[in-house]
Amino acid sequence: MKKIIISALALLGMLNAKAQENTNSGQSKKLTLDEANLVSSYYHQDGNNSAVTGGVGTEKLTDISNTIDVTMVKYDKKDRKNKFNFSVGIDHYTSASSDMIDLKANSSASHADNRIYPSLSWSRENESKGTTLTGGVMFSTEFDYQSYGANIGFSQKTANRMGEFTAKFQTYLDQVKLIAPIELRANDDYGTSGRNTFALSLAYSQIINRNFQIELLGDAVQQTGYLSLPFHRVYFNDNSVHQETLPDKRFKIPVGLRANYFLGDKVILRAYYRYYTDDWGLKSNTFSLETPVKISPFVSVSPFYRYYSQAAAKYFAPYQQHTAFDDFYTSNYDLSKFDSHFYGAGIRISPKNGLFGVERLNMLEIRYGHYTKSVGMKSDIISLNLRFK
């Protein structure tokens, strides 16, 4: 009798295990929706140092951006987790400074444009080995600029799964349409020039304890080709006008540190610091702190502040400061010496049963930020993220 009971229990156990295995297997082998994100943003800026007019003149610009991002998941026969991501974004912008490529026009073809940027990516995570392979391609197009990108990466978790090392190689092959300021054009045949970017990105993340994790990041970025912008004017001290001219190589080294800490049960500290240097003489420091506060299990509010400070690139000089002796010259204030402050707040709502009666709509986030530069430029941005699961 005892043997029969033991045998029956063993059989039940085996059947149960088999049933669970079948269930898992049935679910995991299907391609299922992991999540879809819809992100919309409205950006507006103003200032008086446009590079199109040689470092003086309006920088007024608005940009409306919409992106949709869909991630699907599928486990393969070896139980490796495959993620497929498709994303497409469309921006519409109006730019008062671009309008001044033709100084006489008062709403030229350059005053507005659209940018479309689709991308595809894939990752395969082997949970038993702690490894992940990634790859992706992207494309971006607007009237005067096309960009083709690709990346490949590899991650390896440490034996105790507390740390993870990631290496990624990215490349972008771009084409710039050579639209000169109207007074510097020989003819209306624009022509194009290439700009290539190659980057190696390394990262190491580490769990410190139940509340704390950090990540160290570093990139080595080499850019070659046409790195100026053809419609940026530079006025020399003799009042002659020229096209911006910058070296055809630039090597950048940014290194960063992220640290996220769960303080108590309701407050999270998200800190980030970056040091940047390149061979154009530009150095910068960036520090940001965001503190999400959980008002309830489903609602959090996240005030944030970001401080940025940079030294000028050695090829920058303001309006009418460059001379004919300079080999390279720009009056683009994005390469000047300045400090900037960016602050604002976001609210995230993720109720258990979905939003607005839609069960799959499981998160809504709204975020606003105000940005100021010490050289007078300021901007505002408001973004909305809807996440479906």
Partner 1 sequence: MKNFIKIITAICLLITILSMQSCTTVKEYEKNKLNDSEMVLGNRVIEKTELSFQSYREGSSGANAGKVGGGCGCN
- Give the footprint of partner 1 on residues 212-251 (CB under 8 A): 212-219, 221, 223, 229, 231
Select the residue interacting with partner 1 from 53, 134, 260, 331 (CB under 8 A).
260
What amino acid is encoded at 159 in this protein? A
Residue among 77 and 252 whose Cβ is closer to partner 1: 252
Distance, in Å, from the CA atom of 329 to the CA atom of 232, rounded to the nearest integer, reads: 10
Contacts of 216 (CB under 8 A, 6+ apart): 203, 204, 205, 255, 256, 257
Alpha helices by DSSP H, 159-299: none
Residue among 10 and 270 whose Cβ is closer to partner 1: 270
Distance, in Å, from the CA atom of 149 to the CA atom of 239, rounded to the nearest integer, reads: 40
Smallest distance from partner 1 to CB 255, Å: 6
Select the residue interacting with partner 1 from 69, 102, 248, 326 (CB under 8 A).
69
Q: Which stretch binds partner 1 (CB under 8 A): 4-12, 19-27, 37-45, 183-191?
A: 37-45
Residue 112, number of CB atoms within 10 A of its CB: 15
Binding mask 280-299 for partner 1 (x = CB under 8 A): --x-xxxx----x-x-----
**252 contacts partner 1 (rule: CB under 8 A):** yes
Q: Which stretch binds partner 1 (CB under 8 A): 6-14, 18-26, 74-82, 138-146?
A: 138-146
Q: Which stretch binds partner 1 (CB under 8 A): 13-21, 72-80, 262-270, 352-360?
A: 262-270
By CB under 8 A, the residues from 15 to 34 that bind partner 1 are none
User: What are φ and ψ of residue 110, in 5° steps?
Assistant: -80, -5
Smallest distance from partner 1 to CB 18, Å: 25
Q: Please enumerate, as own/partner, the contacts of 318-321 that have beta carbons within 8 Å and a separation of 24 or more.
A: 318/55, 319/54, 319/55, 319/56, 319/235, 320/54, 320/235, 320/236, 320/237, 320/239, 321/237
Smallest distance from partner 1 to CB 80, Å: 19
Select the residue interacting with partner 1 from 226, 236, 308, 329 (CB under 8 A).
308
Q: Which stretch binds partner 1 (CB under 8 A): 10-18, 21-29, 182-190, 264-272?
A: 264-272
By CB under 8 A, the residues from 93 to 112 that bind partner 1 are 93, 95, 97-98
Q: Are 276 and 283 in contact (CB under 8 A)?
A: yes
Contacts of 291 (CB under 8 A, 6+ apart): 267, 268, 269, 270, 302, 303, 304
Smallest distance from partner 1 to CB 4, Å: 37
Longest dimension (CA), the chain: 108
Residue 110, number of CB atoms within 10 A of its CB: 20
Select the residue interacting with partner 1 from 170, 226, 235, 317 (CB under 8 A).
170
By CB under 8 A, the residues from 324 to 343 that bind partner 1 are 334-335, 339-340, 342
CA proximity to 334, closest of 282, 267, 278, 259? 282
Smallest distance from partner 1 to CB 338, Å: 8
